[in-house]
């Protein structure tokens, strides 16, 4: 169907219904994810308690083994020299040996129960990891959909009224969505998925180290295991933050940018990102904050991934009559005179600026880095 044949009002109604449904689904999935995190924390605490009891039981078991050995020796001596001991001494020797043997057996049974309980809890942890990972992926995918529904598609109805020459706009959106899914899939596969696979292998290693090398080595391995889990969780939350930082709605553009760029700098620890806010630090209409954040995010990611920059400078100035943004890097740069098809990332940046009635200029030289300069007017 041609775009010009579509009904604008119907599209807006469908978009609102989809947005309501997606928002409810995201809330449900988030609650499931949070419940899984609570369960994970409770199980982790229970595992710690079991490990402490295991150490205590192992110490008691070693002491009991020594006492049983001594009692058996005493019993053997009594049996060989039966006539030298009184009936009470003989009975005491037998009863003591029997009681110690029973205590040792109870100790062994208790340790066996704790080991089975520990194995069960560790299996549950693996299941919770899988559930949390799937929930986080769904939340990330839903966030991408919500972003298109709230920003790009919101402007869709207004755009195609005078866009006879842009009938392929819908196809671009679909292709951009697929590209975003591929990028997200790569990040999850190379990051959290690999880490969680290592977690499963590491959990088996912890059990083996605990059995073969004792509690001290076991607890050291558990500490390393916990660091790996935290790293996987950090990676998942970083991907979610890249998709849609919740602080943008709560705090506004400047604080969110400051935190986002600091997080990206920490993640890419070989790159320096400098953020300068030389204007007002105030709230802007939602469409400005979302669009400007995405523009800066895209420019910084391009500088890191494609330009291989080790220093990036982001300068933002909000004035009464307009906004200016400069993103400058010291990457490999490119030749602007070299004609090549524009990527969807660059197309998306230009469209976002156009929707704000602004202008974007991209200048670069090979080996000299790249500058992205954006100006957006503000209505009083």
Question: Are 358 and 225 contained in the same domain?
Answer: no
Question: Are 77 and 204 contained in the same domain?
Answer: yes
- Give the separation between CA 49 and CA 58, rounded to whole angstroms: 14
CA distances from 297 to 97, 107, 301 (A): 74, 59, 6
- Which is higher by pLDDT, 320 or 168? 320
Stretch among 8-17, 48-57, 131-140, 288-297 having the lowest mean pLDDT: 8-17
- Which is higher by pLDDT, 97 or 199? 97
Q: Are 114 and 207 in contact (CB under 8 A)?
A: no
Question: Are 58 and 37 contained in the same domain?
Answer: yes
Stretch among 170-184, 213-227, 331-345 having the lowest mean pLDDT: 170-184
When divided into structural domains, the chain yields a total of 2
Question: Are 191 and 254 contained in the same domain?
Answer: no
The helix or strand, by DSSP H or E, that contains position 305, with its residue range, turns out to be: helix 286-305
Question: Are 174 and 264 contained in the same domain?
Answer: no
Question: Are 235 and 344 contained in the same domain?
Answer: no
- Give the separation between CA 9 and CA 165, rounded to whole angstroms: 21
DSSP secondary structure of 147-188: HIIIIIGGGHHHHGGG-GGGTTHHHHHHHHHHHHHHHHHHHH
Among 223, 243, 263, residue at a domain's last position: 243
- Give the separation between CA 139 and CA 33, rounded to whole angstroms: 9
Q: Are 144 and 173 in contact (CB under 8 A)?
A: no
| Whether the predicted pLDDT of 69 surpasses 90 | no
**Between β-strands 322-329 and 311-318, what pairing exists: parallel, antiparallel or unpaired?**
antiparallel
**The pLDDT value given to residue 191:** 66
Model pTM score: 0.43
The CATH number of whichever domain residue 354 belongs to comes to 3.30.565.10
Among 243, 259, 285, residue at a domain's last position: 243
Contact partners, residue 46, CB within 8 Å, separation at least 6: 121
Question: Are 62 and 206 contained in the same domain?
Answer: yes
Q: Are 29 and 139 in contact (CB under 8 A)?
A: yes
Question: Are 368 and 238 contained in the same domain?
Answer: no
SS (H, E, C) 47-112: HHHHHHHHHHHHHHHHHHHHHHHHHHHHHHHHHHCHHHCCHHHHHHHHHHHHHHHHHHHHHHHHHH
Question: Are 8 and 68 contained in the same domain?
Answer: yes
Mean pLDDT in residue range 217-236: 74
Cα 48 to the center of its chain, rounded Å: 24
Stretch among 173-177, 232-236, 291-295, 344-348 having the lowest mean pLDDT: 173-177
Name the band, by pLDDT with cuts 50, 70 and 90, for residue 41. Answer: confident
Question: Are 229 and 254 contained in the same domain?
Answer: no
- Structural domain range at position 64: 3-243
Question: Are 59 and 162 contained in the same domain?
Answer: yes
111 forms bridges with which residues in the sheet? none
Name the band, by pLDDT with cuts 50, 70 and 90, for residue 141. Answer: confident
Mean pLDDT in residue range 104-120: 87
Q: Is 336 helix (H, G, I), strand (E, B) or coil?
A: coil
Among 243, 278, 302, residue at a domain's last position: 243
Mean pLDDT in residue range 185-189: 67
| Whether the predicted pLDDT of 350 surpasses 70 | yes
Question: Are 134 and 229 contained in the same domain?
Answer: yes
């Amino acid at each position: 169907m041609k775009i010009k044949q579509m009904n604008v009002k119907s599209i807006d109604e469908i978009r609102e219904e989809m947005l309501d449904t997606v928002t409810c689904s995201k809330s449900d999935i988030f609650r499931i994810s949070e419940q899984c995190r609570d369960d994970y924390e409770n199980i982790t605490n229970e595992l710690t308690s079991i490990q402490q009891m295991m150490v205590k039981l192992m110490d008691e078991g070693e002491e009991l083994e020594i006492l049983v050995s001594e009692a058996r020796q005493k019993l053997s001596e009594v049996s060989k020299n039966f006539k030298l001991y009184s009936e009470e001494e003989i009975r005491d020797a037998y009863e003591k040996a029997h009681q110690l043997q029973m205590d040792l057996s109870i100790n062994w049974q208790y340790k066996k129960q704790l080991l089975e309980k520990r194995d069960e809890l560790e299996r549950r942890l693996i299941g919770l990891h899988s559930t949390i990972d799937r929930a986080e992926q769904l939340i990330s995918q839903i966030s991408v959909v919500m972003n298109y529904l709230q920003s790009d598609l919101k402007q869709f109805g207004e755009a195609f009224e005078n866009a006879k020459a842009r009938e392929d706009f819908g196809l671009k959106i679909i292709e951009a969505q697929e590209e975003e899914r591929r990028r997200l899939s790569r990040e999850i596969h190379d990051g959290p998925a690999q880490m969680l696979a290592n977690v499963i292998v590491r959990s088996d290693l912890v059990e083996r180290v605990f059995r073969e090398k004792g509690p001290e080595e076991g607890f050291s391995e558990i500490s390393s295991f916990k660091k790996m889990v935290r790293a996987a969780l950090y990676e998942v939350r970083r991907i979610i933050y890249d998709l849609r930082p919740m602080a943008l709605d709560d705090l506004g553009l400047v604080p969110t940018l400051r935190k986002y760029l600091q997080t990206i700098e920490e993640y890419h620890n070989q790159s320096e990102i400098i953020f300068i806010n030389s204007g007002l630090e105030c709230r802007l209409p939602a469409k400005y904050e979302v669009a400007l954040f995405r523009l800066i995010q895209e420019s910084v990611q391009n500088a890191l991934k494609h330009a291989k920059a080790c220093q990036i400078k982001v300068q933002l100035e909000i004035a009464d009559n307009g906004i200016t943004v400069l993103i400058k890097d010291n990457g490999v740069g490119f030749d602007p005179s070299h004609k090549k098809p524009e990527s969807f990332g660059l197309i998306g940046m230009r469209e976002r600026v156009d929707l704000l009635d602004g202008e974007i200029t991209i200048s670069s030289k090979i080996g000299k880095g790249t500058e992205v300069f954006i100006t957006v007017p503000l209505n009083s």
